[in-house]
Structure formats: C-alpha cells, structure tokens
C-alpha cells in the first residue's frame, strides 16, 4: 500500500543563501520545496541596513531560476552601531522580518556582532515597540566556557537578562541544541525556537567517533544523545513554540575538509525527506505540518502557504551527494539512513 500525505508547503525559518555563484547554486535547492525562508545576514560585509537588505533581496530574486517561486524574508545583522530608526523603517515597509543577533565571535562571519549588550538596548526597545522579532544565535563566546555548555550558559547569562530588560521583545532562540534550550523556550511567552534538520539526526558521537566527520560540524555543535532526544520530542510535539529553521549553511568541501574546517551542515536539498523519516520514527507524521508549515508563520504573524506538497513513501529516494557551487562542490547532509519519503 502506498503511504502518502499532503501538507501545506513548508517554510525555512533560518537559512544561509550566501551570495554570487554560491547563491545561484544553493537557492534552487531550497526553492524546490520551500515557499519562503528567513535569510541570514552574515555575508561579508554583513547585511546591516535596510538598503543592504533591499539590495540582497534583489540579488536573491535575480538568482531564482525561471519557473520557481520563492519569497526571501530578509533580516538585518545587529551591530553595536545599528540605527534604530533604519530598523523600524525597514520593518514598517515590510522588507525586513527580523533582526539577527550574533554574539561577536560566536560563529561564521560574526566579527561585527555584539560585544556590549548595553549598546544595542535602544534598537531592542524599538523592535519591541514595533513587534519585530529578534533572532538569536544563543551561545556565549567566553573562552572559559566549554563549547558543549555555551548554549546553556547563554540562556542564563545573556538571553534571560536581555529579555527581562526589554519587555515585549519577541525572540527566536535559533537552532536550539539542548534540553535546556527546549525547556527555556517552552516556558516563555513571546518566544519561538527553531530546530535544524541535522540536530534532529546527529549527536556529538556522529562527529567524533570512528574518525572526525567535518560535514557534521556546525555551530552550535551537536550535543549528547539525551539532548537530541529532547529536540525530537519538542519538534514532534506540535507545540507552537517550535518550528523548522534548517540553518542549511553551505561551505565548499575544500573548506570543510580542512585543518580548520568551517561550521555548517548543508541540508537544503534533502531536508523534507529527512524530516519525514525522523517524524515517522517518532510516530508523529501528523505533526510534521505544524513544525514545517504552520508554527513558523504563526510566530512571524504571516499567513501559512496556500500551496501544498505531498510526501509519498516508497523505494529509497536518492539525492545528489554534492551540489556544485561554481567555486567547488558542497556536500549534502548525509543522515546515515535511507530516505523513503519522496516530495512532490
């Protein structure tokens, strides 16, 4: 018997598209299945102003192949000199849907991020006033804090104090990787938490046991199995706090398979098939639509998509192992198990 089900077309609430040849290579991988995505602003130089975001949006739309539909939802990169009035104007015009906070030094291209949170207080207050969400990379950068503890420590040291100091600020804790992140997000009003595809599949053993696997290295780094299980439970629960943000982050293989490899898993290509396996294994296929297609728009106060996709189970589906970026190949995330769910 063929098993199949139809859901509203999904969105990706955290995506790296890059620019130039890489943008042209990876955009179709997302647009094939996803209607919209929150586009990360960590280009070099970063997307800081409304003007930068408008120009980047134009480049994304110009890179979209004919016949594909996709709406980029733009974000601004929060710096210590970000202008609150520019942010408010970009939100009011509808161009910008969120502002992204990178603690300085936390991850790829985060050098222009925030060191002193007092310096961004005015921008955060303006965002609370106009209802513009703050997307947060939730890791402290204190070298004294172990990399596996950086998310949990961030909640106590930064996230909770910032939220308490800026009442009404709507915050998305991005790519949560711990039970601590799940518990915090779930217990708060005005908060969402995105969960990536790869953090639902891998734990830290997958990166380190039997040889180092650079294509599983990302930030925040995958944690212990008990944390992965907490993420699966949250994602498959249907709880509206949790929605898909793949954090699909392409880097060419030469920079992943390197003495100092870049952080990022490239999951745009096969995410929906991987998620269907994860949700089926959790006996929760009926909540996939909430996670991938409904909870995100509800948090961002946007309508869900009217179009649908159908997932059909059959013989294993194959996806390319690599996508050619023009600068070199980018390896597609290998979940380590066969994929049976085809998307149409």
How long is the chain? 344
Q: What is the DSSP letter of 283?
A: T
Half-sphere exposure of 90 (CA within 13 A, CB side): 30
Compute the least distance from the CB of residue 221 to ligand DOR, in Å: 8
Is residue 249 within a helix (H) or strand (E), and if so which, with residue range?
none
Fill in the per-residue mask, 235 to 264: x = in contact with Zn ion (CB under 5 A), - = not in contact: ------------x-----------------
**Does 263 interact with ligand DOR (rule: CB under 6 A)?**
yes
Give the distance, in angstroms, between the CA of residue 288 and the centroid of all CA atoms in the same chain: 17
Question: Minimum distance between the CB of residue 164 and Zn ion, rounded to whole angstroms?
Answer: 25
Backbone angles phi, psi at 28, to 5 degrees: -60, -30
Of 287 and 331, the one with the shorter C-beta distance to ligand DOR is 331
Q: List the x/- string, 199-228, binding to ligand DOR by CB under 6 A.
A: -------------------xx---------
Binding mask 199-238 for Zn ion (x = CB under 5 A): ----------------------------------------
Distance from C-alpha of 50 to C-alpha of 69, rounded to nearest angstrom:
23
User: Taking CB within 5 to 8 Å according to partner kind, which of Zn ion, ligand DOR, none is near residue 219?
Assistant: ligand DOR
Among candidate residues 11, 52, 86, 247, the one labeled active-site is 247
Task: Out of 264, 296, 297, 335, name the contact with ligand DOR by CB under 6 A.
Answer: 264
Which of ligand DOR, Zn ion, none binds 264 (CB below 5-8 Å, type-dependent)?
Answer: ligand DOR
What tokens were used for 10? 């999904």
Q: Indicate if 334 belongs to the active site.
A: no
Mind spelling out the 3-state secondary structure of 37-52? EEECCCCCCCCCCHHH
Residues 6+ apart with CB under 8 A from 134: 78, 98, 99, 100, 101, 124, 127, 169, 170, 171, 172
> 64: exposed, middle or buried (C-beta count within 10 Å: 0-12, 13-18, 19+)?
middle
The residues that are catalytic are: 247
Q: Which residues bind Zn ion (CB under 5 A)?
A: 247
Q: Which residues bind ligand DOR (CB under 6 A)?
A: 16, 42, 107-108, 137, 218-219, 247, 249, 263-264
């Amino acid at each position: 018997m063929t098993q199949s089900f139809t859901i509203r077309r999904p969105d990706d609430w955290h995506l790296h598209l890059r620019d130039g040849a890489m943008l042209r290579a990876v955009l179709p991988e997302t647009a094939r299945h996803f209607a919209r995505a929150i586009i990360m602003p960590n280009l070099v130089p970063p997307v800081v102003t409304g003007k930068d975001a408008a120009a980047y949006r134009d480049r994304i739309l110009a890179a979209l192949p004919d016949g594909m539909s996709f709406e980029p939802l733009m974000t601004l990169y929060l710096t210590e000199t970000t202008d609150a009035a520019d942010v408010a104007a970009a939100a009011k015009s509808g161009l910008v849907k969120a502002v992204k906070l990178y603690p300085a030094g936390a991850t790829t291209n985060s050098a222009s991020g925030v060191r002193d949170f007092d310096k961004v207080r005015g921008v955060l207050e303006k965002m609370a006033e106009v209802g513009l969400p703050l997307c947060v990379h939730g890791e402290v950068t204190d070298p004294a804090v172990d990399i596996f503890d950086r998310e949990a420590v961030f909640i106590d040291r930064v996230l909770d104090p910032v939220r308490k100091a800026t009442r009404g600020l709507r915050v998305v804790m991005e790519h949560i990787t711990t039970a601590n992140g799940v518990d915090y997000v779930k217990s708060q009003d005005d908060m969402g938490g995105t969960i990536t595809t790869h953090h639902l599949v891998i734990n830290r053993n997958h990166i380190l046991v039997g040889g180092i696997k650079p294509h599983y290295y990302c930030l925040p780094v995958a944690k212990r199995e008990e944390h992965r299980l907490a993420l699966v439970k949250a994602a498959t629960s249907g709880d509206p706090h949790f929605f898909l943000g793949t954090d699909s982050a392409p880097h060419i293989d030469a920079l992943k398979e390197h003495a100092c490899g870049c952080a990022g898993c490239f999951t745009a290509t096969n995410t929906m098939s991987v998620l269907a396996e994860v949700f089926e294994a959790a006996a929760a296929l009926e909540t996939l639509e909430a996670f991938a297609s409904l909870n995100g728009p509800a948090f961002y106060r946007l309508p869900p998509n009217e179009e649908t996709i159908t997932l059909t189970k059959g013989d294993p589906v194959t996806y390319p192992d690599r996508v050619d970026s023009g600068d070199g190949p980018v390896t597609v995330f290998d979940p380590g198990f066969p994929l049976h769910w085809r998307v149409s």
